[in-house]
A and B are shown apart, each in its own frame.
Chain A
Amino acid sequence: MARKLPRKDVVIIGLGWTGSILANELTDEGLDVIAIERGPWRDAPTDFPPNYAQDELRYHIRHELFLRPEQNTFTFRNKMDQTALPIRKWGAFMPPNGVGGGGVHWNAETWRFLPSDFVLRTHLTERYGASFLPDDMTIQDWGVTYDDLEPHYDQFEYLCGTSGAAGNLRGAIQAGGNPFEGPRSRPYPNPPQKQGFGHTLWGKAAQELGYKPFPQPSGNMSQAYTNPLGLHLGPCTYCGFCEWFGCGNYSKASPQTTILPVLIRKSNFSARDNCEVMHINLDRSGKHATGVTFVDTSNVEWEQPADLVILAAFSVFNVQMLLNSNIGKPYDPVANSGVVGRNFTHQAMSSVDGFFDKDKFNFNPFIASGAIGMCIDEFNGDNFDHGPLGFVGGGYLGQVQTNGRPIQSAIVPPGTPKWGAQWKRAVADNYLSTLVGGSIHSSFYSYRDVYLDRDPTYKDRFGRPMMRMTIDFHDNELKAANYLTDKYAEIVHAMGAHQIHKKPRKGPYDITTYQTTHLNGGAVMGVDPKTSVVNRYLQSWDVPNVFVMGASAFPQNAGYNPTGTVCALAYWSADAIRNQYLKNPRPLVDA
């Protein structure tokens, strides 16, 4: 029997980016808020000091900061007729754990999605006709528009001190920025970061080919910055240990550097770390949440009653929590009914390696930041005519090499032996003059047979069914991968590479090779409860005092990194809670 704690106004499940944002907004409203976090507490100065954080083996290869699969993992299969097997160690993505969540160890690429991304089905149908889309593609409009989110993108970028060059300022296209972006109300809070040799050379080559390159929007500071909460960030030192690592230099936007020092000093905020929420509790009607039940490290079960529940875990765990709490109807791909688990997607990353003459090129690849680099957006979303190409979607192309950490990035030209004297010589000859893994960050649209449900065999450590991922690439994504990879290779060729290795994403989807940690969907937002789990304010259609944050709300993935949009949605939802819901708690949209 769970021990009962005193009631709170709000309980937040997960203290990553969205949990921190919601906690700060709702404590500002005067509410008494508690956050419950599965992983450990983490602080910038004590947990990631710059005297030992630069350790590739510990943090990257051995996954120091991530969730342990023994704590919770998923099962995986490509097709519905296969038996799903557990992911025993992480590969294709790296689920975060602990205070700060993925915000601790992200690269801090801080993108906005395109205006057309939010009305995707309407837009593509109008331009190409409904029959242009594959039958089993289940993309849909978000129910929220770019214009709705613009003030909240702005809010997040100013929180983070994002470094970048505006491309569209209130409708006026700006030289040096991304001309395809939606109109922004103000410039970025900080100028772009500086670029290394390889990034600069790629930008020049792209420009010569007629593209409009721009610096990647970066949550690594280009200069010292004080955010609207009064927190200070320091200039990024380009150490090349960003993604997979925490930043003890206060140079990377994270909950630790931009929100938590203010939040934890508020008397109406508290948090419990190392506590895992088992389920959201509902009253007898099944339509009203009464709080959550969680388990502490001594396996003691506690009940935390609350008036409002904010589900702010990592995307797949949001879906798992909803299913374990009987909130929303589970998706059934055969009957094509239900919603929880539907429209699950990931990313379709491709890349190109470029090998250059070592006597002429020295890239110093170790001098970099997480979100450094030059990009082009000509082949993203619907920025180009898909009519003759036979696919939809795309992604940004960028020379965004973040590091020269040698276990992962000391690569050799194709055709070189994998070991022995020739391999050793090739590593020594190529390390400084190779561009590794140029990024083709392509979208992954949603399909009827790509989804999440509960595994019939494997259980987590509490005996709850694991989430089962059924996921594979469809022809649409593979065609896009080939097309974009060829375009990228042309740029590397124009830079003067003497050998180019094209690596377009190929099927079947493979759980062992890292792509990104951008797992999306499963609890998607929308305008119709038959095809969405939450309404346009991220409020559950079924249990209106539950709001579900995060990329689980994305009806399909776009060709960008998701964090900017995840956090803009969090501010948008917080605004609706503060200005509409609290005055009169109710469903904010009529079903």
Chain B
Amino acid sequence: MEAIADRIIPPDAETPGGKDAGCAVFVDRQLAGPYGQRDGHYNSPPFMNGTKQQGEQGEASPAQQYRKSLDALDRHCRSKFSGKAFAELVDSDKDSVLHGLESGDVSLDGADGKAFFKLALKNIQAGFFADPLYGGNRDLVAWKMIGFPGARYNYLDWIDRHNERFPLPPVGVTGRIDWTPKG
């Protein structure tokens, strides 16, 4: 997952990539919690295939989809890239596999690769931008990158200040980075 997250959101000089931002941790925690089990969704049969407009009708929960797809992805890579798992590939090969999943050109054995890619993309990017409380957006790196000040609740002094950059650093629900002592 970390290897995928780091290609979806590659590190650059200013901002860490998906791995160091904690996106895989985010996904892992989400899958272990209510989201991964589809708590609260309507999960009763009969399950029938419908139109695109009718939305997802599958029986598998996100946790089950990930488990099957990650396993199938590594099997695919090992057969194509002389025994190497996805995480062991060079970046350009990783990208070509991911592009193949996205387009449907790479099909996985026993899993829907295209649906998995769509799900993983959504979850990794959500983890990057969610409150750091959930494990991603570590040290508020994503919010710093875009200029989102986070979980603030009072901009009364700023509503009239048009076209000016807001100067204060981002803050999460659990506080600001410099409020937590290092070490």
Interface on A for B, CB 8 Å cutoff? 50-57, 61-63, 68-71, 73, 76-78, 82-83, 85-89, 91, 194-197, 200, 235, 237-241, 249, 361-364, 366-367, 404-407, 410, 418-421, 424-425, 427-428, 431-432, 457-458, 508-512
Report chain B residues within 8 Å CB of A85. 48, 50, 54-55, 57
Report which residue of B43, B102, B155 has the largest number of chain A beta carbons within 10 angstroms of its beta carbon: B155
Q: B88: CB under 8 A from chain A? A: no
Report chain A residues within 8 Å CB of B50. 83, 85
Give the 3 A-B residue pairs with the shortest CB-CB distance, closest first: A68-B40, A431-B146, A197-B162
> Could you mark each residue 35-53 of chain B with 1 if its beta carbon is under 8 Å from any beta carbon of chain A, else 0?
1001011111010101111
Q: Tell me which residues from 91 to 117 in chain B have a Cβ below 8 Å from any Cβ of chain A.
A: 95, 98, 102
Report chain B residues within 8 Å CB of A86. 42, 44, 57
Report chain B residues within 8 Å CB of A91. 55
Assess A367 versus B166: contact at CB under 8 Å? Given A407-B126, A419-B8, A511-B53.
yes
Once the chains bind, are A432 and B146 in contact (CB under 8 Å)?
yes
Q: B32: CB under 8 A from chain A? A: no
How far is the CB of A50 from the nearest CB of chain B, in Å? 4
Interface size on B, residues (CB 8 A): 58
Q: B165: CB under 8 A from chain A? A: yes
Q: B64: CB under 8 A from chain A? A: no
Assess A235 versus B40: contact at CB under 8 Å? Given A62-B35, A362-B165.
no
Report chain A residues within 8 Å CB of B179. none
How far is the CB of A211 from the nearest CB of chain B, in Å? 21
Task: Please measure, in the bound complex, the distance between the C-alpha atom of A177 and the C-alpha atom of B149, giving whole angstroms.
Answer: 33
Pick 7 A–B contacts, CB within 8 A, sort by A. Answer: A73-B42, A82-B51, A237-B156, A238-B154, A364-B166, A431-B148, A511-B55
Interface of B is mostly: loop
Once the chains bind, are A406 and B42 in contact (CB under 8 Å)?
no
Task: Please measure, in the bound complex, the distance between the C-alpha atom of A566 and the C-alpha atom of B98, giving whole angstroms.
Answer: 49
Q: B87: CB under 8 A from chain A? A: no
Q: B163: CB under 8 A from chain A? A: yes
Q: B83: CB under 8 A from chain A? A: no
Once the chains bind, are A238 and B147 in contact (CB under 8 Å)?
no
Report chain B residues within 8 Å CB of A57. 126, 130-131, 134
Task: Please measure, in the bound complex, the distance between the C-alpha atom of A63 and the C-alpha atom of B165, giving whole angstroms.
Answer: 31
Once the chains bind, are A367 and B155 in contact (CB under 8 Å)?
yes
Closest-by-CB residue of A relative to B171 is: A54
Closest-by-CB residue of B relative to A76 is: B54
How far is the CB of A478 from the nearest CB of chain B, in Å? 15
Closest-by-CB residue of A relative to B14 is: A428
Task: Please measure, in the bound complex, the distance between the C-alpha atom of A57 and the C-alpha atom of B159, giving whole angstroms.
Answer: 25
Once the chains bind, are B162 and A196 in contact (CB under 8 Å)?
yes
How far is the CB of B62 from the nearest CB of chain A, in Å? 11
Report chain B residues within 8 Å CB of A240. 155
B41 CB contact (under 8 Å) in A69, A406, A419, A424: A69
B130 CB contact (under 8 Å) in A56, A239, A428: A56
